[in-house]
Structure 1
Amino acid sequence: MNRLELAHAIGQTAKISGSFTLRSGAVSDSYFDKYRFESDPKLLALIAEALAPLVPSQTDYLAGLELGGVPVATMLSNVTGIPAVFVRKQAKTHGTCQLAEGADIKGQRLTIVEDVITSGGAVNDAVFALRERGATVEQVICIIDRESGGKENLEALGLTVQSLYRRSELE
């Protein structure tokens, strides 16, 4: 499937119309329901194959953010052979009390994997928490950049942000 066909498939599967309040608090008349493409194994596999070239070669672990980045990181791990860790919004308060599940991240180079970036708030929070735990985080990849300032906000923190698609490419 070529890039345009994949964009069309994502849009057909995930774009819905209505009135939606986003994580950032902004209200939008369209929404990319990421769970619609993340729950489709064939479409998610095609997305992971398209994302694979964006993964920096020095990546030790793909860091999938809770919740939407987890299935993407899992499928991308399958495609690239790079192991994944799953990053919670908050560290558990029981058991191992981990923020990142799946490996010891101290001293490791993580590439953040996210499904949709709007303001960049979730990625920002995760980056600071992962760095506090000794990980090196400089790279972010996502499926959709909503073109709402998130990429710029994250780049201002010294992160390199790459997206498979911008919102305008899916409309």
Structure 2
Amino acid sequence: MTAPAEAEATASLAGRLAHTACVTGRFTLPDGQVLDSYFDEYRLAADPQLLHDVADAMAPLVPDGSEVLAGIELGGVPLVVALSAATGLPAAFLRRLPKSYGSQQQIEGTPVDGRRVVLVDDVVRSGGQLLAMTRTLRIAGARVADALCVLERPLGGRTLLADRGVTLTPLLTETDLPTAKEGLW
């Protein structure tokens, strides 16, 4: 795809994402921070064509040599399934806490020990959740140096992850979304 065609495709996808998944209102994050806009990953996951198109757009971002894609509950799970289908790479699923029953696992799906794992999540803000999951994967023996997300909001996540040896690659940044440029979200 040529650079202008690629830019047009990215702008079109950004517009569809903004229309479908960007909502305004008062939203309190787990760390207590309050935002006046929110990227609703469930709206993205609920739209099969948009989810497919996002995965196709993210597939070229997966670093060469990657062996496993790991999705973080809950927003990263549908993304990692779609990205796994788009790339042919196996998937693992990360719980924030080990399951309290059954297998009592924190990492489900494809084994990660000794493998190059790429983290996948919906939105990166402060990076705390990705950092915690990086630790979990590294303790399990995975080699983690990359993370992908659909949307990066500039709240320090990239720097936090880089300081811990993880490169963050977003499909889009907040300023790529049409409503962000217009100050609406």
Q: TM-score range by the shorter chain?
A: over 0.9
Counterpart of 2:121? 114
How far, CA to CA, are the matches of 1:144 and 1:133 in structure 2? 27
TM-superposed CA distance for 1:152, in Å, is: 1.2
* Paired residues for 1:1-171 under 5 Å: 2-170=9-177, 171=180
Q: Once structures 1 and 2 are overlaid, which stretch shifts more, 22-31 or 34-43? A: 22-31
CA contact (8 A) 1:13 1:37 kept: yes
Deviation digits for residues 108-166 of structure 1, max 9, x if unmatched? 11000000011111111111011111111110000000111111111111111100011
Structure 1: gaps spanning 5 or more residues: none
- Secondary structure of 1:122 counterpart: helix
Deviation of 1:94 after TM superposition, in Å, equals 3.1
Unaligned runs of 5+ in 2: 1-7, 181-185
Identity of aligned residues (%): 42
Q: Which 4+ residue blocks in structure 1 deviate beyond 3 angstroms?
A: none
| Deviation of 1:89 (Å) | 0.6
Q: Which whole-Å CA distance do the structure 1 matches of 2:152 and 2:134 have between them?
A: 17
Residue 104 of structure 1 deviates from its aligned partner by: 1.9
- Rg larger for: 2
Question: Taking structure 1 as the reference length, what is the TM-score of the superposition?
Answer: 0.96
Q: What is the count of residue pairs matched by the alignment? A: 171
Calculate the aligned-residue CA RMSD, in Å.
1.1
